[in-house]
Amino acid sequence: MQRIDPVTPIVQIDNLSFSYEQNSILTDVNLTIHNLDSICIVGPNGGGKTTLIKCILGLLTPDQGTVTVFGGSPEQAHLRMGYVPQYASFDPYFPISVMEVVCMGRLGGSISGKYSTRDKELATAALEKVDLLKYAAHSFAALSGGQRQRVLIARALATGCDLLILDEPTANIDHTAETRFFDLLSGFNEKMTILMVTHDVGFASTFFKRIACVNNKVVIHPTSELTGELIQNMYGGDLQMIRHDHRCGEGGHSHD
Amino acid sequence: MTDFFQALADPNLPFLRYALISGLLASIPFGIIGSFVVVRRISYIAGAISHCVLAGVGLGLYLQQAVGIAWFTPFIGAILAALLAAVILTVVSLHAKQREDSVIGALWAAGMAIGLLFIAKTPGYNDPMSYLFGNILLIGKSDLYFISILDIVVVTVVTIFYNKFLALCFDEEYARLRGLNTGLLYLALLCLTALTVVLLVRVVGIVMVIALLTLPAAIAGNFARNLWQMMLLAIVFCALFVFSGLWLSYSYDLPSGPVIIMIATALYLLVVGVLRKIRDH
């Protein structure tokens, strides 16, 4: 694995704009992400969250501006990025074993795509980390939503990535699985930078260091600034919300 | 019923032996490529390629009989047309995601139209029926060479690049992220599909290609835990359909293509129905 230079940002985005068939999705985005940062990307549907991470991954090319990842182009850095895509995009009946899914994280090492013993060891270790090693030979389709999500995380971990990018990983899992998921994630954050798209702002305030609000433009806030007003601004309309970690008294409110 | 086996052994009826041997050998690419077509959900693309085969067949007949180019047989025309269709469909899928189905439909119909126009302008009587509905009993010794070569090519390519093809079908975007040239892989998959489709046209005809390509794999998908199990099972099912179809068609004097397809369809419906019953309980 390559050493990480502490001065160079992991991700540097300058003046990025992206449009799709004349619709502007992202305008003049600037973003710097440093090593071991953890950023949560929030915003309304169609606001450009997924587009932003796909530009970082090099899956989409911006119309204007530059994206630099680990000091080079996203294509040069793609083997150092682990990606957990939106779970809903998978064919639920696809005949594939859990181990085969995780091994996919090791693809790209050889011309034929055969996995070496080392590839298989890394895949096994990744499955162990998400506590699913005993399901290695099982069918991916037969697992529960939360388990499948962890398999996809294991696939990203098997790459040996320094930057983990997740797109709505908690959308299809229940509350218990979600709590467990964030425990897992905070362990990873000690060694790698994490970038995650989510709808769920509740957990964001407890785990992430910074929040990126994406709605055509991108605005970064430290997590401590997350208030109802801010959320209302970024969703751009009336939003009913109940915070459970606040106590409101006559002299204003205080945090737990 | 024993007539069929006596006929197979009869030295005066080589066509039946060729039909059975070629059908069983052809089950290998049918099962492998059929599994890819089912999991990647490109049966309409296979259908379009199949209908383009008629354009190549028509061109072959026309060039041979009207222009006098003896080496340009309908078979060569069929292969060229199928490969050309595969290239066009790859380019369309890479660059025009929104309108892909319109292009598939246009290619589907245009292939037929071009073929029929060439056949109409070819002197003498040419019956497109055997191309549209296939006749495995017309398969000769030379076809066996093509089938054997296709067996070797499909098995070799898929064995070597299995993991890459699997990634392409399961999660193309992720495959791209791992540095795979997914456009080239997709082109390779469609070209293998095209060659397999040309062979399928000989067995069941242009119109019924999709059925024999997808039904064995679709049935196998219900029992397989991963893709290679699905392929092996699909090969077995396909061989079973060809064998029983030939047997029935010989015994009751019925055209072989439709009988093979009806057996495959009946088993598919049976499997789907029984599995649904089991799941409901």
Per residue in A144-175, pLDDT tens?
888 888 899 999 999 988 999 999 887 777 77
- CATH number for the domain spanning B151: value is 1.10.3470.10
Picking from B41, B175, B227, the nearest residue to A95 by CB comes out as B227
Q: Check the CA dihedral B267-B269-B270-B276 and report its sign.
A: positive
Stretch among B4-13, B20-29, B218-227 having the lowest mean pLDDT: B4-13
Confidence of residue A240 (pLDDT cuts 50, 70, 90): very low
Question: For chains A and B, what is the number of CB pairs under 8 angstroms?
Answer: 79
Model pLDDT for residues B95-111, shown as the tens digit of each residue: 876 678 888 999 999 99
Query: Would the CB atoms of A78 and B164 count as touching at under 8 Å?
Result: no
Query: Would the CB atoms of A78 and B230 count as touching at under 8 Å?
Result: no
Q: B160 vs chain A: nearest CA distance in angstroms?
A: 6
pTM recorded for the entire structure: 0.88
> CA–CA distance from B89 to each of A98, A194, B74, B107 (Å)?
32, 38, 22, 9
* B220 within domain boundaries: no
> Which amino acid appears at position A130 of this protein?
V
Whether the CB-CB separation of B121 and B62 falls below 8 Å is answered with yes
Query: Cα separation of B132 and B199, whole Å?
Result: 13
Interface check for A143 against chain B (CB to CB < 8 A): the answer is no
Secondary structure (DSSP) of chain A: -PPPPSSS-SEEEEEEEEEETTEEEEEEEEEEE-TT-EEEEE--TTSSHHHHHHHHHTSS--SEEEEEETTB-HHHHGGGEEEE--GGGS-TT---BHHHHHHGGGTTSSSS-PPPHHHHHHHHHHHHHTT-GGGTTSBGGGS-HHHHHHHHHHHHHHTT-SEEEEESTTTTS-HHHHHHHHHHHHHHTTTSEEEEE-S-HHHHHHH-SEEEEEESEEEEEEGGG--HHHHHHHHTS------SSEEEETTEEEE-
| pLDDT of B116 above 50 | yes
* B159 within domain boundaries: yes
Q: Which of B177, B182, B231 to mutate to test the interface with A (most CBs of A within 10 A)?
A: B177
Nearest CA in chain B to A99: B226
Q: Which of A22, A79, A94 to mutate to test the interface with B (most CBs of B within 10 A)?
A: A94
Interface check for B232 against chain A (CB to CB < 8 A): the answer is no
Q: What is the ipTM of this complex?
A: 0.87
| pLDDT of B141 above 90 | no
* B8 within domain boundaries: no
On average, the pLDDT of chain B sits at 91
Confidence of residue A238 (pLDDT cuts 50, 70, 90): very low
* B249 within domain boundaries: no
Q: Looking at residue A4, what is its pLDDT?
A: 60
| pLDDT of A176 above 50 | yes
Confidence of residue A56 (pLDDT cuts 50, 70, 90): very high
Interface check for A93 against chain B (CB to CB < 8 A): the answer is yes
Q: How far is CA A221 from the centre of its chain?
A: 17
The alpha-helical segments, DSSP class H, found in chain B are 2-9, 14-40, 43-62, 74-95, 100-120, 129-133, 141-160, 162-170, 172-177, 182-204, 209-221, 227-252, 256-280
Q: Looking at residue A204, what is its pLDDT?
A: 62
Q: Looking at residue B281, what is its pLDDT?
A: 75
The tokens for B132 are 């549209």
Q: B167 vs chain A: nearest CA distance in angstroms?
A: 7
On average, the pLDDT of chain A sits at 82
State how beta strands A64-69 and A81-84 pair: unpaired
Name which residue leads in pLDDT, B178 or A206.
Answer: B178
How large is the average pLDDT for residues A219-244?
Answer: 60
- Domain count of the fold of chain B: 1
* B145 within domain boundaries: yes
Interface check for A90 against chain B (CB to CB < 8 A): the answer is yes
Q: B265 vs chain A: nearest CA distance in angstroms?
A: 20
Picking from A79, A93, A97, the nearest residue to B179 by CB comes out as A79
Whether the CB-CB separation of A33 and B147 falls below 8 Å is answered with no
* B1 within domain boundaries: no
How large is the average pLDDT for residues B173-177?
Answer: 91
| pLDDT of A203 above 90 | no
Q: Looking at residue A244, what is its pLDDT?
A: 45
| pLDDT of A253 above 60 | no
Q: Looking at residue A239, what is its pLDDT?
A: 46
Partners of residue B177 in chain A, C-beta under 8 Å: 57-59, 78, 81, 83
Q: Looking at residue A79, what is its pLDDT?
A: 85
Q: Which residue has the tokens 């795509």?
A: A113
| pLDDT of B130 above 90 | no
Whether the CB-CB separation of B223 and A93 falls below 8 Å is answered with no
Q: Which of A55, A107, A167 to mutate to test the interface with B (most CBs of B within 10 A)?
A: A107
Nearest CA in chain A to B220: A95
Stretch among A3-17, A114-128, B212-226, B245-259 having the lowest mean pLDDT: A3-17
Query: Would the CB atoms of B179 and A112 count as touching at under 8 Å?
Result: no
Query: Cα separation of A121 and B162, whole Å?
Result: 20
* B167 within domain boundaries: yes
* B221 within domain boundaries: no
Q: CB under 8 Å, gap of 24 or more: what pairs does B13-20 form?
A: B15/B137, B15/B138, B15/B139, B15/B140, B16/B137, B16/B246, B16/B250, B18/B139, B18/B140, B18/B141, B18/B143, B18/B144, B19/B136, B19/B137, B19/B139, B19/B246, B19/B256, B20/B242, B20/B243, B20/B246
Model pLDDT for residues B19-34, shown as the tens digit of each residue: 899 999 999 999 999 9
Interface check for B169 against chain A (CB to CB < 8 A): the answer is yes
How large is the average pLDDT for residues B50-58?
Answer: 95
Picking from B41, B160, B226, the nearest residue to A100 by CB comes out as B226
| pLDDT of A98 above 90 | yes
B82: containing domain: 28-208
